[in-house]
Amino acid sequence: MKNLLLVLLLLGFAMSALAQVTEIKNEHPVLGSIPGFTLYDYEKKDFGAYSFCDVNGDHYAVEGQITYYYYECDDSTDPKNILNRFEELGDSLNANIYGDGSNQLYMVLQVDHRRMYVDLFAEDFYYTLHIVERGELKSEITAEDLLKDLRQIGKAVLYFNFKHNECELTSDCKEIIEMIAEALKREPVMGISIDAYTDNIGRYDDNLELSRKRAETLFKELVKLGIDDQRMVYNGFGEEEPIADNSTVMGRAFNNRIELVKK
């Protein structure tokens, strides 16, 4: 009987340690948790739609990976303390923060290549988090790969992390632009057409103009890096010629692309 009790006791310690490891593993890598709170419920969905609230109080659907957290503490606390903690974290991450000031807090932020939508609800002994994460495509192509595609296929498809409905390139695009310039310098007589495309969200004419400006932006950056402007032309085709389903988040990400076409 003593041996059985010892086994059960050791098993209990093992299960407790496993639960702690699982709890730590399930905490969000960016938002974490508040000290003194224990994670009691966790659910993750690889893809789904969530009704999110904008600054005007209107709801709209956000698609992506959805994670739900439910935390409790042993003692009662002011919900504003919970909100303040996440506001401070959001400020450090340059998030767009808004809410009712008493129980609800919303944050929209960009982390690496992910757009995150955070819905926080706090009460006097618990809080919940709904987090929707949208991944952005990033080109992982080398100068050798680019030249191979241009020589053998006649074009190369590239993905830049443009801000939504903007033509300004983000800072993390510098490396890929330098790679394109390096590849073009290896083929100094090759002509290139820079063709930009968008998804179908928004007005057709706006998407057409947006894609043209994005192509022009890349054109100008390459000229700055020493590529002869006479070798290149640029075009914007908007939402024409989609290569994926515009009804999904990932499909729209694929359609927001720039193609370098050999001339």
Q: What pLDDT was estimated at residue 88?
A: 93
CA dist 160 to 8, 91, 150, 164, 200, Å? 56, 26, 18, 11, 17
**What pLDDT is attached to residue 21?**
38
Domain ranges in the chain?
33-135, 143-262
CATH number for region 143-262: 3.30.1330.60
Q: Looking at residue 223, what is its pLDDT? A: 97
Please give the average pLDDT of every successive group of 10 residues along the chain, which has 263 residues.
43 44 63 92 86 85 87 91 93 89 90 83 95 74 89 88 66 84 94 95 93 95 96 96 80 87 93
- What per-residue confidence (pLDDT) applies to 16? 44
What pLDDT shows up at residue 24?
42
Supply the pLDDT for residue 22: 39
Give pLDDT, residue 111: 77
Give pLDDT, residue 4. Answer: 43
Beta strands of 136-210 (E only): which ranges? 155-158, 192-197
What is the structure's pLDDT at 259?
A: 94
